[in-house]
Chains A and B, each alone.
Chain A
């Protein structure tokens, strides 16, 4: 396990380093179209080949990683915190608060937020900068993604309410938010970590789906989600194996993330 964890650290650090220096390391700008060579296989000039418009896929992967790798974990953190606060507090407080919070959670799970997202896009000016657009996108994702785990956290906090150590802390004079933060929240960590780990790739992929509505990353800027959407048009994985590169990278990063998180989690 130790070797695996070391490898995970190395992978994440290397990925971060490489994509932060994308400006130096990328052989071409992500928007430059090499129109004589669309859909080209890997070669010396284009290490991962080119896409349908002749843009270098290696460069696009580097730049796309930068956007996704920095913003998706931030959004995942936001949604995890919201879930922890809302779900945990609801279970901890119980009674009318719990019922209210769970009703809100169920609504957030069921409503078609697509229309809210479309409205948000309409409110933004057309020439909004790409960074603003993508920041808004991930902010929205973070604000909407907490509902599923909030319910689980509520059930967990509810059962912790009666736990011995909580009763003991109460008797010794700890109350309210301090009690919640020191004793209840840390015991909800497994669910919080699970929520965080799931949210990262889910948000990365959702960002691409939101591109259909005008949110997300604006062309020609690449994003991991956008690169993955191109997989829909790939029919023979064997013939065009290099197009799987972003997927493989994402799988490895997500796997490494879990190995790192599990260190803080329960030892297995």
Chain B
């Protein structure tokens, strides 16, 4: 008995070991990618034109000493590698640097603004998925030409309206910002979802199942969804960064004090500490979202036929 249980225990231990190794490997990959992303961002921002100049240099009331001081304000950031190393060191101690454009610690700025972005981007993404899935599932299940044309035209129309115009329309109509994010994201999600679902529907064994009279919803849940599952999950992971990207112009126009509003100001001001932190944050969120979708897909995979 004890030998059997010890074999079982060994297997379980090996299984846990494997999982821990997997988790560590993923964590390492994420950390390495995020660090690389940070370095690339710092390099791009540093070498883009306009880095070492300041709008205030056009003020004719400044004395030559002040002008010189303005020019030297960026001296610490000139050497990218040095700056990045120092940034990482301080970040490890909880100090994410001071924003150049807003004169406040980056940590404070992020702490006060992330709830607003979570609301606008997060809710918007959720709403976008609901709208896209509703339309795509209806189109796939109904299999009616006219409905498909209508849905395509609707999604296409919304896709063709510039984000700024959508945001302004919402300000005009006093609409909520998450709705704008949802409208920006939904046409892309709809198109992918509809194509994936339609592809799954047209597998030979499903056509047979239809012919045999098996009901629509049953086919959908038991067969179509699992077939399209991995790709839909991958889409879900990618849609997180889509939502963040959409949040930037929306927050700026609708006047929402979120991270997106920060991002645009930081870009214009070449605010390296803030941009670096924002990018690393967005990279980490994207990586986690994609990792989650991969893991979920793997967990659900054995059920697939």
| Interface assignment of B277: CB less than 8 Å from any CB of chain A | no
Complex Cα distance A228/B282, Å?
Answer: 29
Complex Cα distance A77/B292, Å?
Answer: 30
**Contact among B40, B195, B199, B234 with A107 in the assembled complex (CB-CB below 8 Å):** B40
Nearest chain B CB to A36 CB, angstrom units: 29
**Contact among B41, B165, B234 with A231 in the assembled complex (CB-CB below 8 Å):** B165
Nearest chain B CB to A152 CB, angstrom units: 5
Q: Are A155 and B297 in contact (CB under 8 A)?
A: yes
Q: Are B50 and A118 in contact (CB under 8 A)?
A: yes
**Contact among A198, A205, A262 with B187 in the assembled complex (CB-CB below 8 Å):** A198
| Interface assignment of A139: CB less than 8 Å from any CB of chain B | no
Q: Are B198 and A112 in contact (CB under 8 A)?
A: no
Q: Which residue on chain B has the smallest CB distance to residue A204?
A: B160
Complex Cα distance A94/B120, Å?
Answer: 36
Q: A202-B159, A258-B152 are in contact. Are A151 and B196 (CB under 8 A)?
A: no
Q: Which residue on chain A has the smallest CB distance to residue B242?
A: A148
Taking CB atoms and an 8 Å cut-off, the chain A residues in 213-243 that contact chain B are 225, 228-229, 231-232, 235
- Point out the residues of chain B lying under 8 angstroms from A116, CB to CB: 44, 48
Q: Are B162 and A231 in contact (CB under 8 A)?
A: yes
Q: Which residue on chain A has the smallest CB distance to residue B187?
A: A198
Interface residues on B, range: 35 or more
Q: A103-B33, A112-B275, A266-B198 are in contact. Are A254 and B159 (CB under 8 A)?
A: yes
- Point out the residues of chain B lying under 8 angstroms from A155, CB to CB: 230-231, 233-234, 294, 297
Q: Are A255 and B156 in contact (CB under 8 A)?
A: yes
Q: Are A197 and B191 in contact (CB under 8 A)?
A: yes
Stretch at the interface among B6-14, B54-62, B71-79, B141-149: B141-149
Complex Cα distance A122/B53, Å?
Answer: 15
Q: Which residue on chain B has the smallest CB distance to residue A118?
A: B48
| Interface assignment of B153: CB less than 8 Å from any CB of chain A | yes
**Contact among B159, B161, B275, B286 with A106 in the assembled complex (CB-CB below 8 Å):** B286
- Point out the residues of chain A lying under 8 angstroms from B238, CB to CB: 109, 147-149, 151-152
Instruction: Select the residue from A110, A119, A201, A202 with max chain B CB neighbours within 10 A.
Output: A110
Q: Are B290 and A259 in contact (CB under 8 A)?
A: no
Complex Cα distance A118/B45, Å?
Answer: 10
Q: Are B165 and A193 in contact (CB under 8 A)?
A: no
Q: Are A266 and B283 in contact (CB under 8 A)?
A: no
- Point out the residues of chain B lying under 8 angstroms from A262, CB to CB: 148, 152
Complex Cα distance A114/B265, Å?
Answer: 13
Taking CB atoms and an 8 Å cut-off, the chain B residues in 290-305 that contact chain A are 290, 294, 297, 304
**Contact among A147, A159, A193, A267 with B195 in the assembled complex (CB-CB below 8 Å):** A193
- Point out the residues of chain A lying under 8 angstroms from B164, CB to CB: 229, 232
Nearest chain B CB to A107 CB, angstrom units: 5
- Point out the residues of chain A lying under 8 angstroms from B49, CB to CB: 118-119, 122
Complex Cα distance A224/B196, Å?
Answer: 30
Nearest chain B CB to A127 CB, angstrom units: 17
Q: A118-B48, A268-B145 are in contact. Are A110 and B241 (CB under 8 A)?
A: yes
Q: Are B41 and A152 in contact (CB under 8 A)?
A: no
Nearest chain A CB to B246 CB, angstrom units: 12
- Point out the residues of chain A lying under 8 angstroms from B36, CB to CB: 107
| Interface assignment of A84: CB less than 8 Å from any CB of chain B | no
| Interface assignment of A154: CB less than 8 Å from any CB of chain B | yes
- Point out the residues of chain B lying under 8 angstroms from A159, CB to CB: 230-231, 304
Q: Are A112 and B44 in contact (CB under 8 A)?
A: yes
| Interface assignment of B208: CB less than 8 Å from any CB of chain A | no
Complex Cα distance A28/B298, Å?
Answer: 61
Q: Are A265 and B195 in contact (CB under 8 A)?
A: yes
| Interface assignment of B210: CB less than 8 Å from any CB of chain A | no
Complex Cα distance A235/B165, Å?
Answer: 10
Instruction: Select the residue from B50, B160, B198, B282 with max chain A CB neighbours within 10 A.
Output: B160
- Point out the residues of chain B lying under 8 angstroms from A247, CB to CB: 160-161
Q: Which residue on chain A has the smallest CB distance to residue B196?
A: A190
Taking CB atoms and an 8 Å cut-off, the chain A residues in 22-59 that contact chain B are none
Nearest chain A CB to B192 CB, angstrom units: 5
Complex Cα distance A113/B162, Å?
Answer: 20
The 4 closest A-B pairs by CB, nearest first: A190-B195, A155-B234, A115-B48, A110-B283
- 15 A–B contacts from the bound complex (CB under 8 Å): A103-B33, A112-B267, A112-B275, A119-B49, A148-B242, A149-B238, A158-B230, A198-B191, A205-B163, A231-B162, A250-B160, A255-B156, A258-B156, A259-B152, A262-B152
Contacts A228-B160, A251-B157 aside, 5 further interface pairs with beta carbons under 8 A come to A118-B50, A155-B234, A155-B294, A231-B165, A266-B202
Which A residues are within 8 Å of any B CB, using their own CB?
1, 4, 99, 102-103, 106-107, 109-116, 118-119, 122, 147-149, 151-152, 154-156, 158-159, 190-191, 193-194, 197-198, 201-202, 205, 208, 225, 228-229, 231-232, 235, 247, 250-251, 254-255, 258-259, 262, 265-268
